[in-house]
Structure 1
Amino acid sequence: MNDQAAPMTPTETDEPVVMVSGIPDMNRPLYRIFPLWFFEAALTTNAGNLFLIRPDAWEDPYEDICSKIMLQTPDHKQKMLSPYLRPAFAQCWSFEGQSDALLRAYSRVNRDAATGRNTEPKFEGVQVKTTRQSLFAPSTNFPRREGIPN
């Protein structure tokens, strides 16, 4: 009998799947704060389109929980879980429209002592309000899989 397990290999993605759950009201407001420079770029160079980004590319390493989970192989070595998962692309939105914590996390204001003006205005935050219905309307072109909620 062979003691060695089959080698672990990352899964391959065959098609994009949109998964959104836990938001029963399609018209409930969602909020996101963008740095001003990012928001301007989305409007001018991306034709107003927003892009989904892999969580491992996000600035805050704690938002990519899968990068912190380790697997133990049969030979007692550790490997990260994330390479074995299907690639995920996401954005963070909030139901909270008035959040000082989110404003501080996603914008920066450094006031000049003499003028009181922000020395780095491109890092000021811009709050965007939308709904699940508006945000995910473009994703209707993606294939759906049986049993996966929209």
Structure 2
Amino acid sequence: MNSNNMLDVTDPDTPIYRIFSKSRFLDLLRTRKNGLVNPAKWDDPFENFFLRASVTGPNGEVISISNLAKDWYGQCWTLHEDTDAMWRIYSPGTERDGIKVRTTIRKLFESLYDDADSFAALKYVIGTVSYETEAEIAAFMSGVTFQDIAFGGQATPFARLLCVKREAFAHEKEVRLLFQDLDPKRGANGVALFDFDVNGICDDVVLDPRLTETEAAALTDELKRAGCTLPIGRSPLYRVPAFSISLQ
């Protein structure tokens, strides 16, 4: 594993979290494959702003870098252990069947990084997201050149730009797992698949705090029958406190 491809990571053993839908988590258990998606599929249209940009050539011609954009894939995790906002965003609707898993930056990156790949340093990156104002992003884009980013043929300058979001999303505290798909290509239809043993890579599973005890027990049983051997609990976020105060 190349620590140079861990961007702004102070401690690789820091816990990180991701909420999967129940159907996606069951698919992870069944297929043992994790899918990274092309940034074009990310929700915020302001994301991957660099890969959406065009390059102006020396004679004023406009050069598209769309082919470069198609070669990147990513997956978003968070440093937040348990927040109301994350459950409501990633476990929406009435079923409330989101499945939160915990791992570490190191274990997640090791699940992607292939030491046997001679071009690994150009393909695999993980980094913490920085949050900037639109003015800061615009100022950067007005002062940077494509050569500044592409100089030396390294992956990390591009990856750093994929780890920038607007400050309105700072509450997400994201960590991004990134892959640059060089020949031979492995991505298809906007998704790149990698081996992923949930029971070996993750440390535990936490269910939506809005589930009743009966619903949580039923979902726990379903996950175990599907092959999950990790500890499974329900988030205590909405647990009612049992305070006791003296009469006088």
TM band (smaller chain)? 0.5 to 0.7
Match of 1:37 in 2: 23
Q: Does residue 1:54 correspond to 2:41, yes or no? A: no
From 7, 14, 32, the equivalent of 1:28 is 14
Distance 1:60 1:148, change over 3 A: closer
From 116, 125, 140, the equivalent of 2:114 is 140
Higher strand share: 2
From 99, 103, 107, the equivalent of 1:130 is 103
Could you tell me whether the CA contact under 8 Å between 2:38 and 2:73 is conserved in 1? yes
Distance 1:65 1:99, change over 3 A: farther
How many residue pairs were aligned?
Answer: 117
CA distance in 2, matches of 1:41, 1:59: 22
CA distance in 1, matches of 2:40, 2:70: 13
Alpha carbon RMSD of aligned pairs, Å?
Answer: 3.1
The TM-score with structure 2 as length reference comes to 0.39
Query: What one-letter code is carried by the residue in structure 2 that aligns with 1:131?
Result: T
Higher helix share: 2
From 61, 82, 88, the equivalent of 2:72 is 88
CA distance in 2, matches of 1:20, 1:32: 18
The TM-score with structure 1 as length reference comes to 0.60
After superposition, what is the alpha-carbon deviation per residue over 1:101-146, rounded to whole angstroms, capped at 9, x for unaligned?
222221212xxxxxxxx3xx3x631111100121122313344338
Structure 2: state its 5+ residue gaps.
123-153, 157-248
Q: Percent of aligned pairs with the same residue?
A: 25
CA distance in 1, matches of 2:89, 2:5: 26
Distance 1:63 1:85, change over 3 A: closer
CA distance in 1, matches of 2:89, 2:54: 28
